[in-house]
Chains A and B, each alone.
Chain A
C-alpha cells in the first residue's frame, strides 16, 4: 500500500490552462504539505494543512490554491498556468513536529 500517493505522475499542458494535482495519505498523519522542486533540485514549501486548516502559506501566487476535503487528502489546483510553473511538485505528510516527512512520488508538471 502506498503511504502518500499523488496523481498524475506526469502532466504536460499549455500556458493558460487550469490543472489539478491530487494527493492522498493513508498514514493517519495530521499535517499535509505541498512542495515545489525546481530544476536545481531546491525544495520550497508552498502550503501546509493541519486538520483541514491552512497553517502556512509562503509567498506563492494566488493562482495556486490548496483544497483539502478531509484529513487524508490535499489537492493542489493551479489556474492560468505559466511557463515558470514547470517543476516537480511533491505532496508530503507528517505527524506534528518534530517528525520528518513522508513524501509522495511527485508530479512532473511541464507547461508548454
Chain B
C-alpha cells in the first residue's frame, strides 16, 4: 500500500508569517509530487508541482523535495488570511500516473 502522510492540523499561523506544511511518502520510486489547495466546499486546485530534489519557487510558494528522506514540503511566505484552506499533498508512486493523496493539512492564518 503506497501511503502519503500529512499532519491533519489545524496549523495556525499569524498573518505575515511563514507557514510550513509537510508530507512524507512510502514509495521510494515516486517521481512526481504535487500540492493542491482546497477551500471549504470547493474543489482541489493545483498550486505546485515538483519532480526533482531541491526547491521550486512560485511567488509566495516554495515546494521542497528530498527524495532520500522521502518528504516534500510546502512553504507559504507572508501568509494571508486568504491562504486559510486545506492543503493536499499528492504523490505519483513509481510506475503509476495515478497520484495517491494525503488526507490534507488544515491551515488557518489569523489576522
**B is a partner of A:** yes
Q: Which residues of A contact B (CB under 8 A)?
A: 31, 33, 40-45, 48, 56, 90, 96-106
Known contacts A41-B86, A41-B103, A100-B34; is-contact A56 B98 (Cβ 8 Å): yes
Name B46's closest neighbour in chain A (CB-CB).
A100
CB contacts (< 8 Å) of A31 on chain B: these are 97
Given contacts A41-B86, A90-B43, 16 further A-B contacts (CB under 8 A): A41-B104, A43-B101, A44-B101, A48-B98, A56-B98, A97-B32, A98-B31, A98-B32, A99-B49, A100-B36, A100-B49, A100-B99, A101-B36, A103-B44, A105-B43, A106-B42
Name A33's closest neighbour in chain B (CB-CB).
B98
Q: Which residues of B contact A (CB under 8 A)?
A: 31-32, 34, 36, 38, 42-46, 49, 51, 86, 88, 90, 92, 97-99, 101, 103-104
**Bound-complex Cα distance A41 to B101 (A):** 10
CB contacts (< 8 Å) of A96 on chain B: these are 97
Q: How many residue-residue contacts, CB under 8 A, span A and B?
A: 48
Is the CB–CB distance between B43 and A103 below 8 Å? Answer: yes
Is the CB–CB distance between A98 and B51 below 8 Å? Answer: yes
Is the CB–CB distance between A45 and B45 below 8 Å? Answer: no
**Bound-complex Cα distance A99 to B46 (A):** 10
CB contacts (< 8 Å) of B36 on chain A: these are 100-101
Is the CB–CB distance between A106 and B43 below 8 Å? Answer: yes
- Among A42, A45, A98, point to the contact of B103 (Cβ < 8 A): A42
Is the CB–CB distance between A104 and B104 below 8 Å? Answer: no
Name B51's closest neighbour in chain A (CB-CB).
A98
Is the CB–CB distance between A105 and B49 below 8 Å? Answer: no
Is the CB–CB distance between A40 and B103 below 8 Å? Answer: yes
Q: 14 pairs across A/B with beta carbons < 8 Å?
A: A40-B103, A41-B38, A41-B104, A44-B101, A45-B98, A90-B43, A96-B97, A97-B32, A98-B92, A98-B97, A99-B49, A100-B90, A101-B36, A102-B46
Is the CB–CB distance between B97 and A103 below 8 Å? Answer: no
Which of A44, A48, A96, A106 has the most C-beta atoms of chain B within 10 angstroms of its own C-beta? A106
Within the complex, what minimum Cβ distance (angstroms) separates B21 from chain A?
A: 15
CB contacts (< 8 Å) of B45 on chain A: these are 103
